Chain A
Amino acid sequence: MSTYTDPYAASRETTEGTVFSVTGGDWDSLVTEIGQAKEERVVVNMGPQHPSTHGVLRLVLELEGETVTEVRCGIGYLHTGIEKNIEYRNWTQGVTFVTRMDYLSPLFNEAAYCLGVEKLLGITNDVPERATVIRVLMMELNRISSHMVALGTGALELGALSPMIFCFREREKVLDIFELISGLRMNMAYIRPGGVQQDLPAGALAKIRATVKDLRHSFKDNENLLVGNSIWMKRTEGIGYLDLAGATTLGVTGPVLRSTGLPWDLRKMQPYCGYENYNFDVITADTCDVYGRFLIRVNELEQSLRIIEQAVDKLEKLEGAPVMVADKKIAWPAQLALGGDGLGNSLDHIREIMGTSMESLIHHFKLVTEGFRVPAGQVYTAIESPRGELGAHVVSDGGTRPFRVHFREPSFNNLQSTSAMCEGSMVADIIGAVASIDPVMGGVDR
């Protein structure tokens, strides 16, 4: 034991053995003390406050030397009780909650939830085509912004700084489009049961076209930085190995599953939102490793751009078409318009409910305070989020509020494979493996 007290690496005796609290700084005394310990086995807590664990993820590592013998994940640090809260709000308000689950792919959460509610209502085929195309457009833009964070932070965590700067620059361009269309950059609650919250503003399609061109050009910067880069490949090739059998038994989906060579993409296999009408390829790799997952994400960007271009073409033909279901018993009554004091209810609508039609006022009031009723039953709707199968199990008791909403979060299930990927590897490779799963703790914990 050390003869002096090290303020940075204090130790104390517990029933489990000596516990060192390492806060950075002077590591010398820690190394000396561990060297004196009889036991070879060291248990290290990595996180929950650790810059490379992708959020508040705690990894309990058992080490022998630099080899990891056991990995356990500690989650729940970002548990927000969204699934509980949602039962106390009406169906439309639920969108505002689910959008905050996986905060990097809010539009996917909204889409999965709304598709579930629409299926319960039996209005899946009544959602206007323009709304569906806008959903696809927004989801694919969101896939790009999400993959940008996955690639940027993944590279950053492995020590490559420039890709992070480039990726966040590109992500910003996508978030600008979100802001233009929905008013918010994240957690926009834009997709609503029955359609979308509002139509695209003037000039949005032109801006998207320009941005797509811009992004396609800038993605090359990133590719040139990392694809084939020998240092990057040494850190990622053969790391975080998980094959098809492991992936299916662990319920792993998304890029991690596709890195085993299986072209499983719900957009192709079980199309929703009219994905069968778009041309795009499912990207796979056969390496089962971090590098394969990295390549899949890089190449999926181009596929998303292709879908966005096709969606923009469709939207140009659908100019002026409705974006909310025609049934006034479900469609949110607000008719948004830009006034002198910002976005609000249109003056025409205010005039109608306040001045001319008592029934309209009652209808507006009932729908806003009480919401619409959803026939009793349960559905499970699954969509392909940037991280894999995002499923919404939505149960209604016939009331105006969800009876139970459970999200099958791809981050949650994929994170389980950390142990399978990392045990037996080196400590440094855990970071690459976790980054390749791309867990978002808001989604894991909900």
Chain B
Amino acid sequence: MSSDNGMFGAQGTGDTSGYGGLVPTAASSGSSQRPYGSYFDSVTDDLERAYPDFADAIERVVVDRGELTLHIKVSRLVEVSMILRDKLKFEMCLGVSGVNYPDDKGRELHAVYPLLSMTNNQRIRLEVSVPDSHPHIPSLVEVWAGNNWNERETFDMFGIIFDGHPGLTRILMPDDWQGHPQRKDYALGGISVEYKGATTPAPDERRSYR
């Protein structure tokens, strides 16, 4: 994960006061071991049975804080989603949330899909990651039509290109906007505003929040 400067310029840790001397702990990148607990074992078993390529497609299975995350190879995302929807009854996808990990080299952009099965009253999460240099993820709109706007939002905010999306355009920012605001390299503020000739200084010339 990233290391940030303090709110008042302290270097190294996320310690805003500068006196803590604490270092952020890196997120664990390992897989969880069985048994996962709760219904997570049965969900993964069912998926393995319904999807023969499970071992190849699923990079990691992480159970953390009572939630199951399946890390999936980008190329297999649509296949796995179809199986999850049709065979495992995950009828609803609750959108896609992008996360930018600039320090996770080669997989800077993550897309996280929370799934809900109303039939079985279960929740799982899919996660895929792509490099900044090739931010392409297949669209899941054909699996869950409701992901349409969510993918547009994630494209708008992170620049992840969802291949096969029926109309991948910006949704929240203006169409001619430059850059993708939620990426970590996009500074907060500094957007010039037309107001009675007033100007906004560039982000690096203003009081820093980091």
- Interface residues of A, Cβ cutoff 8 Å to B: 75-76, 79, 81, 83-85, 87-88, 90, 119-120, 122, 248-253, 262, 264, 269-270, 365-366, 369-371, 373, 375-380, 382, 389, 391, 393, 395, 397-401, 403-404, 406, 408, 412-413, 415-416, 445-446
Check A76 against B173 for contact (C-beta < 8 Å): yes
11 interchain pairs, CB-CB under 8 A? A250-B146, A251-B147, A253-B92, A395-B99, A398-B27, A401-B4, A401-B14, A412-B153, A413-B94, A416-B148, A416-B149
Check B114 against A365 for contact (C-beta < 8 Å): no
How many Å from the CB of A361 to the closest CB on chain B? Answer: 13
Question: What residues of B have a CB within 8 angstroms of the CB of A371 in the complex?
Answer: 16
Check B17 against A369 for contact (C-beta < 8 Å): yes
Tell yes or no: B181 within 8 A of A by CB: yes
Given A76-B174, A90-B16, A248-B92, decide whether A398 and B24 contact each other with a Cβ distance below 8 A: yes
Question: What residues of B have a CB within 8 angstroms of the CB of A395 in the complex?
Answer: 99
In the complex, residue of chain B having the shortest beta-carbon distance to the beta carbon of A270: B121
Check A393 against B112 for contact (C-beta < 8 Å): yes
Check A122 against B65 for contact (C-beta < 8 Å): yes
Check A84 against B182 for contact (C-beta < 8 Å): yes
**In the bound complex, how far is the Cα of B69 from the Cα of A379, in angstroms?**
10
Question: What residues of B have a CB within 8 angstroms of the CB of A369 in the complex?
Answer: 7, 16-17
How many Å from the CB of A167 to the closest CB on chain B? Answer: 29
Among A122, A269, A393, contact of B114 (Cβ-Cβ < 8 Å): A393
Check A413 against B146 for contact (C-beta < 8 Å): yes
**In the bound complex, how far is the Cα of B96 from the Cα of A251, in angstroms?**
12
**In the bound complex, how far is the Cα of B93 from the Cα of A249, in angstroms?**
8
**In the bound complex, how far is the Cα of B147 from the Cα of A50, in angstroms?**
27
Check B67 against A76 for contact (C-beta < 8 Å): no
**In the bound complex, how far is the Cα of B114 from the Cα of A262, in angstroms?**
21
Question: What residues of A have a CB within 8 angstroms of the CB of B112 in the complex?
Answer: 378, 380, 393
Question: What residues of A have a CB within 8 angstroms of the CB of B172 in the complex?
Answer: 75-76, 79, 445-446
- Interface residues of B, Cβ cutoff 8 Å to A: 1-2, 4, 7, 13-17, 19-20, 22, 24-28, 64-67, 69, 91-95, 97-100, 112, 114, 116, 118, 121, 123, 125, 144-150, 153, 157, 170-174, 181-182, 186, 188, 209-210
Question: What residues of B have a CB within 8 angstroms of the CB of A415 in the complex?
Answer: 149
Among A87, A251, A365, A412, contact of B92 (Cβ-Cβ < 8 Å): A251
Check A399 against B210 for contact (C-beta < 8 Å): no
**Interface on chain B toward A: helix, strand, loop, or mixed SS?**
loop
Check A370 against B99 for contact (C-beta < 8 Å): no
Question: What residues of B have a CB within 8 angstroms of the CB of A401 in the complex?
Answer: 4, 14
Given A376-B25, A380-B67, A400-B16, decide whether A84 and B4 contact each other with a Cβ distance below 8 A: no
Given A376-B27, A398-B25, decide whether A366 and B17 contact each other with a Cβ distance below 8 A: yes
Question: What residues of A have a CB within 8 angstroms of the CB of B146 in the complex?
Answer: 249-252, 413, 416
**In the bound complex, how far is the Cα of B85 from the Cα of A251, in angstroms?**
13
**In the bound complex, how far is the Cα of B95 from the Cα of A446, in angstroms?**
15
In the complex, residue of chain B having the shortest beta-carbon distance to the beta carbon of A252: B146
**In the bound complex, how far is the Cα of B91 from the Cα of A262, in angstroms?**
13
How many Å from the CB of B30 to the closest CB on chain A? Answer: 13
Given A251-B144, A413-B146, decide whether A393 and B14 contact each other with a Cβ distance below 8 A: no
Check A262 against B145 for contact (C-beta < 8 Å): no
Check A251 against B181 for contact (C-beta < 8 Å): no
Among A88, A119, A250, A264, contact of B118 (Cβ-Cβ < 8 Å): A264
Check A370 against B118 for contact (C-beta < 8 Å): no
